[in-house]
Amino acid sequence: MRRLLRYIYRNLLPARIKQSIDIFPYLRVPYVDSLKEKRVIVLSPHPDDDIIACGGTVYKYHLMGSEITVVYMTDGRKGNHQYKEEELVLIRRDEAQKAAAAVGINKLIFLNNRDSELALSRKTVKELFEILMNHKPEAVFLPFFLDNHHDHSATSQIFLSAASSLASCVCYLYGIWTPLPTFNVISDITACLEMKIRALHEHKSQLELADLVGAVTGMSRYYSVMNNGNGYVEPFLACSLDEYRKLGDIMGW
């Protein structure tokens, strides 16, 4: 029976009916460099995730005249054990501000949750809810829900709870600790790579631990294979807010 239904869906149904049955139509469509939103929010689990994941794309939005707000979900205190935690919180806040200036981010919001302890709490959901209601974003960038870091997956859960009253937006999912298993948006950042690297250099406390510049540049070059092998790109899995809610239901959130 399942094979029969699959055959009917693929071969007999008109396209307009397929679209009405398909609950994830947005996920199945490639959107190459289709960025156009004017109000953008980036949810960054830690100070530097925003630049690593979408620093070049953020700079493109800046050049378009978009209003860009970054929300740092945690304080980054666990990012380098060579520093005392409270000292590192201040250092990373300063680094984030300098990096934001490099790529044209308009506003930074620090929620100050403890690094590595982010949870679906009433307080954090309320804070993010108020941010979303005040800014009414057309686009929200956030970690892919299967990204292999507790704070990253928690960010997705918190967003889904906080966005309950948000009418609509495009969700751009990015990968940090786990490469995206699939994506439908390829943002060409070749012309913006220099600014992204300049911003990344401001996160000095993190560069002491790893060659993030080399890693980010290498990944952007690798993903350019999907862009005819030219330049540097940032990939995203884009979907409507409704589709992301359905994904959350499947995940049991």
Radius of gyration of the chain (CA): 19
Among candidate residues 99, 101, 172, 182, the one with its CA nearest the CA of residue 139: 172
Listed residue (91, 123, 40, 56) closest to 204, CA to CA: 91
**Are 42 and 50 a contacting pair, CB within 8 Å?**
yes
**Per-residue confidence of the chain (253 residues) as pLDDT tens digits?**
445 445 444 554 455 544 555 666 766 666 556 789 999 999 999 999 999 999 999 999 999 999 999 999 999 999 999 999 999 999 999 999 999 999 999 999 999 999 999 999 999 999 999 999 999 999 999 999 889 999 999 999 999 999 988 989 999 999 999 989 889 999 999 999 999 999 999 999 999 999 999 999 999 999 998 777 889 999 999 999 999 999 888 888 7
Contact between residue 143 and residue 175 where contact means Cβ atoms under 8 Å apart: yes
Listed by start position, the domains of the chain span 37-251
CA distance 96 to 137: 21
User: Which two tokens mark 90?
Assistant: 């201040």
Task: Give the domain 37-251 fold.
Answer: Rossmann fold (3.40.50)
Global pTM reads: 0.89
